[in-house]
A and B are shown apart, each in its own frame.
Chain A
Amino acid sequence: MADIRNTFVGIKSPNPFWLASAPPTDKAYNVERAFKAGWGGVVWKTLGEEGPPVVNVNGPRYGAIWGADRRLLGFNNIELITDRDLYLNLREIKQVKMNWPDRAVVVSLMVPCEEESWKAILPLVEETGADGIELNLGCPHGMSERGMGSAVGQVPEYIEMLSRWCKQYTRMPVIIKLTPNITDIRHAARAAKRGGADAVSLINTINSITSVNLDTFSPEPTIDGKGSHGGYCGPAVKPIALHMVADIARDPETQGLPISGIGGITTWRDAAEFLALGAGNVQVCTAAMTYGFKVVQEMIEGLKDWMDRKGHATLDDVVGRATPNVTDWRYLNLNYVAKAHIDQDACIKCGRCHIACEDTSHQAITSMVDGVRHFEVMEEECVGCNLCVNVCPVENCITMQPLAAGTLDKRTGEPVSPVYANWTQHPNNPMAKVAAE
């Protein structure tokens, strides 16, 4: 059986599944239940500075989008950081850590961008025996209007400065939680590294409006007729998060910087994908908020089952395995040719592949052959785009099949070249010509 014990910036947990800083980790009651259900660690709901806590709205905090059968695909929230007293939280953190010494307890923090504020809170957290801190530089609503959260995370200089202060005033590992509401995540990660942070975690939520109420003309969630943008999360954000994780993992300037992967993780497979792209562990919020803490059992068992099937003994055999395969477009092999192929036994003849290809792509799929409804790829037209694969309702019904070197590509009339050739070498590329001269 695969060993999925995890060590992340020196913090040990029995598995790589942590709960992200959010309502599931807001108080001892929830966290105790989470640990009983099997979660490997938590990042405690973000604490603010001493004094009267923030207040939340007293109406809806969430907006959502659903797929077929009302499956929750993503939601957004306008919740702020913890609205409970700092010292109450600290007492509970201490108690929980004592009760669960084998689980990771990391404390998320957000205080004003002043050295004194950080200097004041860090010893208080350290005193709880918590394993580390995570700086919430990502919250995109409410707190950002007060110059915190994503307002800080969007300015690399601030990220670097806060990282430095924290490393200076605490011996605890420092994780910087990044906001995706920027153009290039690498600048944020590089800043964290420059400031001496031990790791980055990402993504926090994405600026969003989930829907508009067409009776009241107000955005959801609506508070007394008005709405504000909220932070988007859940399965829908996973692709964005994966890309950002990969970007940091393969950036020469941040290579080796530990990454805690967050964003839409719902099943063991999602988690494995983050790990493969270079995340050292993962954090989950929406899946727990949708299905309850018990979902982690599926993630744990599924991850082990996959590792066993593939012969991966420990997480080290998995983490970062896909990173080297993420590259720039210009290095993709333009001599690689694939064609769609329809398994006629699996095809239920819905016609979606045909109409997608016919109306919007390359007119490469039949709809009628010899007077009979029949869907088949015409290789002479197929550019191998994969659109039909993605619109087909039957899994593995349409597959992309690579053409072996030497076989005739019926579309171009040329044999497939065995030679790897990318855009940088392509004759149509003006830059390539320059290089050749």
Chain B
Amino acid sequence: MAEGQFKQGVAGGRLAPQQYAENFSDLHPPLDPHEALVEADRCYFCYDAPCMHACPTSIDIPMFIRQIATGNALGSAKTIFDQNILGGMCARVCPTETLCEEACVREAAEGKPVQIGRLQRYATDVAMEQNKQFYDRAEPTGRKIAVVGAGPAGLACAHRLARYGHEVTVLEAKPKSGGLNEYGIAAYKTTDDFAQAEVDYVTAIGGIAIENDKALGRDFSLSELTAKYDAVFLGLGLGGINALRAEGEDAEGVENAVEFIAELRQASDLSSLPIGRRVVVIGGGMTAIDAAVQSKLLGAEEVTICYRRGQEDMNASDFEQDLAAANGVNIRHWLQPKRVVADGGKVTGIELEYTIMKGGKLVGTGETLSLAADQVFKAIGQLFEPAALNGSGASIAMEGGRIIVDTEGRTSMAKVWAGGDCIRGGEDLTVTSVAQGRDAAESIHRTLTSNGRA
């Protein structure tokens, strides 16, 4: 046991140096060829396969698995990329237990679905390791399209547009591309700088120019884009986060979970990343689980997730909750934050109030509980920050704080499409963002070519 384990407060180096690499290694290590064959052989090649319907990008799962089984991993990768050019990342981060694998008929038959996600990773790894590019660009159309945001939605949109021969400029506020693939996804889901490798793989098709450190609303306005480009796609993600609405929220040590994870993902040396000895995470979704598990993996002694409703209400899947439990995270329910306790401006604990459902509403019981904490992470949902859209003259219709789009991804503003987390009704998953970016590209292409100019 490294001595750092018992350092008081928020500190780095809690673990022995080699422990970090082990803790943050692949959550689901890749299948080797033998494992892939055995697993692929389990697929029944179902008709109108339920797994395919459950995949937001509708990958032809029976076909790609059959191609693995018959020794055609490259063809398999193409089958995947035809529908989902970020199939590599999705294979790593999709909550398959609530998507394709939940629908797999072998889940019904024997409670053991075909491991679709890991097979998808197997095939895409083969193609990406060889940098095998499957798509030629169509003849240049002379159309120019701006994609704002280089996250999953923006990248999927850009790739599909480039295939059709359009010229795409991606404008990205951050120094690195990839969106939450680069800054948000848990480190043990995407090891070895996979997010950047994938950005390179996607853009290798050509016709996609990414300009980093270019922020909409700061460096240019939406009306400038619509004037300069034939179409604009907004894949802005969610920049803001919900307030805790607890007293003392601004004490040192109260942090935004997404920012903590971003810092972790960008850290060149995890052992230098400070973490509390006792950590409390407020929330009940994927972000809460990721923040809690990674806190634990950094060596926090005690990590507690506090969620204000019951276990069945948690957004995090059973698999994720089990993952947290297996890593020694304590998940507590029916507790809402009331007051951050601080000493000298630094957080020392949090006071929570028990909750119950009364008349269909969540109410506090008045009874409280105090937990000691050196760090409190807020993981209670992100917000779309509409400020970037300001200054564009006409405004884009919003609802519930997010952009309204129609079934094709068109916003209320002419020439402007949107997709991914920033739109209303999304599921806030990488794979749904990819689907929306891709489908918006199809819509843009139809619009730009049906008017007879291209």
A329 CB within 8 Å of chain B: no
Residue pair B45, A267 in contact (C-beta under 8 Å): no
B218 CB within 8 Å of chain A: no
A295 CB within 8 Å of chain B: yes
Which interface residue of B37, B45, B67, B70 has the most chain A CB atoms within 10 A?
A: B70
Residue pair B42, A268 in contact (C-beta under 8 Å): no
Residue pair B72, A305 in contact (C-beta under 8 Å): yes
Chain A, 147-167, CB within 8 A of any chain B CB: none
Residue pair B75, A305 in contact (C-beta under 8 Å): yes
CB-CB contacts of B356-390 with A at 8 A, as 1s and 0s? 00000000000000000000000000000000000
CB-CB contacts of B54-74 with A at 8 A, as 1s and 0s? 000000000100110111101
Residue pair B71, A298 in contact (C-beta under 8 Å): no
CB-CB contacts of B34-56 with A at 8 A, as 1s and 0s? 10010001100101000000000
Q: Size band of the B side of the interface?
A: 10 to 19
Chain B, 58-117, CB within 8 A of any chain A CB: 63, 66-67, 69-72, 74-75, 78-79
Residue pair B66, A292 in contact (C-beta under 8 Å): no
Residue pair A395, B47 in contact (C-beta under 8 Å): no
CB neighbours (8 Å) of A294 from chain B are 63
Residue pair B34, A267 in contact (C-beta under 8 Å): no
The answer to whether residues A69 and B63 also contact, given A268-B72, A305-B74 and a CB cut-off of 8 A, is no
The answer to whether residues A292 and B72 also contact, given A301-B67, A395-B34 and a CB cut-off of 8 A, is no
Residue pair A69, B67 in contact (C-beta under 8 Å): no
Chain B, 219-246, CB within 8 A of any chain A CB: none
A305 and B66 alpha carbons, distance in the complex (Å): 14
The answer to whether residues A298 and B34 also contact, given A291-B45, A305-B72 and a CB cut-off of 8 A, is no
Q: Is the interface of A mostly helix, strand, loop or mixed?
A: helix
A295 and B42 alpha carbons, distance in the complex (Å): 16
The answer to whether residues A297 and B72 also contact, given A291-B45, A394-B34 and a CB cut-off of 8 A, is no
A301 and B75 alpha carbons, distance in the complex (Å): 7
A306 and B70 alpha carbons, distance in the complex (Å): 11
Residue pair B70, A298 in contact (C-beta under 8 Å): yes
A433 CB within 8 Å of chain B: no
A370 and B63 alpha carbons, distance in the complex (Å): 48
CB neighbours (8 Å) of B47 from chain A are 292
CB neighbours (8 Å) of B63 from chain A are 294, 297-298
A257 and B300 alpha carbons, distance in the complex (Å): 77
CB neighbours (8 Å) of B42 from chain A are 69
A79 and B229 alpha carbons, distance in the complex (Å): 64
Chain A, 59-96, CB within 8 A of any chain B CB: 69, 71
The answer to whether residues A302 and B70 also contact, given A294-B63, A394-B34, A395-B34 and a CB cut-off of 8 A, is yes
Chain B, 1-57, CB within 8 A of any chain A CB: 34, 37, 41-42, 45, 47
A24 and B113 alpha carbons, distance in the complex (Å): 31
Residue pair B72, A302 in contact (C-beta under 8 Å): yes
Q: Size band of the A side of the interface?
A: 10 to 19
Residue pair A268, B70 in contact (C-beta under 8 Å): yes
A269 CB within 8 Å of chain B: yes
| Contacting residue for B72 out of A71, A295, A301, A346, CB 8 A | A301
Residue pair A295, B34 in contact (C-beta under 8 Å): no
A301 and B41 alpha carbons, distance in the complex (Å): 19
CB-CB contacts of A289-313 with B at 8 A, as 1s and 0s? 0011011011001100110000000
Residue pair A295, B75 in contact (C-beta under 8 Å): no
A268 and B69 alpha carbons, distance in the complex (Å): 11
CB neighbours (8 Å) of A292 from chain B are 45, 47
Minimum Cβ distance to chain B for residue A298 (Å) = 5
Which interface residue of B45, B47, B72 has the most chain A CB atoms within 10 A?
A: B72
A294 and B41 alpha carbons, distance in the complex (Å): 17
A268 and B72 alpha carbons, distance in the complex (Å): 9
A269 and B69 alpha carbons, distance in the complex (Å): 11
- Nearest-CB residue, chain B, relative to A68: B41
Residue pair B45, A295 in contact (C-beta under 8 Å): yes
| Contacting residue for A269 out of B41, B71, B78, CB 8 A | B71
CB neighbours (8 Å) of A269 from chain B are 70-71
CB neighbours (8 Å) of B66 from chain A are 295, 298
CB neighbours (8 Å) of B37 from chain A are 395
- Nearest-CB residue, chain A, relative to B78: A301
CB-CB contacts of A376-407 with B at 8 A, as 1s and 0s? 00000000000000000011000000000000
A55 and B14 alpha carbons, distance in the complex (Å): 81
Residue pair A267, B70 in contact (C-beta under 8 Å): yes
CB neighbours (8 Å) of B67 from chain A are 298, 301-302
Minimum Cβ distance to chain A for residue B126 (Å) = 12
- Nearest-CB residue, chain A, relative to B79: A301
Minimum Cβ distance to chain B for residue A343 (Å) = 11
CB neighbours (8 Å) of A71 from chain B are 41
A306 and B66 alpha carbons, distance in the complex (Å): 15
Minimum Cβ distance to chain B for residue A183 (Å) = 34
Chain A, 325-380, CB within 8 A of any chain B CB: 346
- Nearest-CB residue, chain B, relative to A269: B70
Chain A, 242-274, CB within 8 A of any chain B CB: 267-269
Which interface residue of A292, A297, A305, A395 has the most chain B CB atoms within 10 A?
A: A305
Chain A, 274-298, CB within 8 A of any chain B CB: 291-292, 294-295, 297-298
A269 and B79 alpha carbons, distance in the complex (Å): 18
A298 and B76 alpha carbons, distance in the complex (Å): 9
CB neighbours (8 Å) of A297 from chain B are 63
A295 and B75 alpha carbons, distance in the complex (Å): 14
A394 and B34 alpha carbons, distance in the complex (Å): 7
CB neighbours (8 Å) of A346 from chain B are 34
Minimum Cβ distance to chain B for residue A54 (Å) = 30
A395 and B47 alpha carbons, distance in the complex (Å): 29
A301 and B70 alpha carbons, distance in the complex (Å): 11
Minimum Cβ distance to chain A for residue B53 (Å) = 16
Which interface residue of A269, A291, A294, A298 has the most chain B CB atoms within 10 A?
A: A298
A83 and B175 alpha carbons, distance in the complex (Å): 71
A282 and B63 alpha carbons, distance in the complex (Å): 21
A294 and B74 alpha carbons, distance in the complex (Å): 19
CB neighbours (8 Å) of A268 from chain B are 70, 72
A69 and B34 alpha carbons, distance in the complex (Å): 18
CB neighbours (8 Å) of A394 from chain B are 34
A269 and B72 alpha carbons, distance in the complex (Å): 10
Minimum Cβ distance to chain B for residue A344 (Å) = 15
Residue pair B41, A302 in contact (C-beta under 8 Å): no
A395 and B67 alpha carbons, distance in the complex (Å): 17
A71 and B40 alpha carbons, distance in the complex (Å): 13
Minimum Cβ distance to chain A for residue B195 (Å) = 28
A294 and B72 alpha carbons, distance in the complex (Å): 16
- In the assembled complex, 5 residue pairs joining A and B whose CB atoms fall closer than 8 Å, in A order, are A267-B69, A294-B63, A298-B66, A298-B67, A305-B75
Q: Which residues of B does A touch, CB under 8 Å?
A: 34, 37, 41-42, 45, 47, 63, 66-67, 69-72, 74-75, 78-79
Q: Which 4 A-B pairs have the closest CB atoms?
A: A267-B70, A301-B75, A302-B72, A305-B75
Other A-B pairs, 17, CB within 8 Å; known A301-B78, A394-B34, A395-B37 = A69-B41, A69-B42, A71-B41, A269-B70, A269-B71, A294-B63, A295-B45, A297-B63, A298-B63, A298-B67, A298-B72, A301-B72, A302-B70, A302-B71, A302-B72, A302-B75, A305-B74
Q: Which residues of A does B touch, CB under 8 Å?
A: 69, 71, 267-269, 291-292, 294-295, 297-298, 301-302, 305-306, 346, 394-395
